Each structure stands twice: as C-alpha cells, then as structure tokens.
Structure 1
Amino acid sequence: MSTKLSLVTKTRTLSLKIELALLLFLNTVLRIAEHTTRLRIGNTSYLTMVSI
C-alpha cells in the first residue's frame, strides 16, 4: 500500500513539474511575441513619423 502511495505522489510531482515547465515556456513565448510585436509597431510608427 505504501509503495503504491509513493508512486502516486511521484507521478503527481512529475506532472506538476511538467505543468510548471509548460507554463514557463508559454510565458516566455508570449513575452517574446509581445516584444517583437511592440518592436514592429514601434518601427511602423517611426517610419510613419519620418515619412510625414
């Protein structure tokens, strides 16, 4: 019984670690995407200002 319980606990901690890793990965991807979008918008507005 105790071995089964420890196995369940190990599986749970593993899945939690995987979830955390995925969340961190997604967060990073979103941050990078936001950064590039801001850069693009910034470049566009700069070009518009220059052309005017």
Structure 2
Amino acid sequence: MKIIVFLVSLAIFIAGMYLMGSAFYVPGWEAAVFLGGILASSIGLAIPVHVLKRIDG
C-alpha cells in the first residue's frame, strides 16, 4: 500500500514540475499554470510527509 501511495505522490510531484516548466509556453495563463504546478508539487510532497507516516502496514 505504501508503495502505491508513494508512486502516486511521485507522479503528482513530477506533474507539478512539468506544469511549472510549461507555464512559459501558455500565453495568457502563465500565472495560473505556474500556480497549479506549485500546488501540485506541494501536494506531491505533502502526501508522503503527512499521510504515509500515519499508515501502518
């Protein structure tokens, strides 16, 4: 179970990094896409830090 949650959080983190990088190529929506990348990266880091330590097994 921990491995699946870790892989999902890793995918969310990498997607956030991709969003932050591709924000420069979206005319008119740069700030929104970059903010979405920051939020996705934050969620991707918050899952292992706050959720995985509470899962036993």
For the pair shown, the structure with the greater C-alpha radius of gyration is: 1
**Which TM-score applies when normalising by structure 1?**
0.46
- Greater length-normalized contact order (CA 8 Å, ≥ 6 residues apart): 2
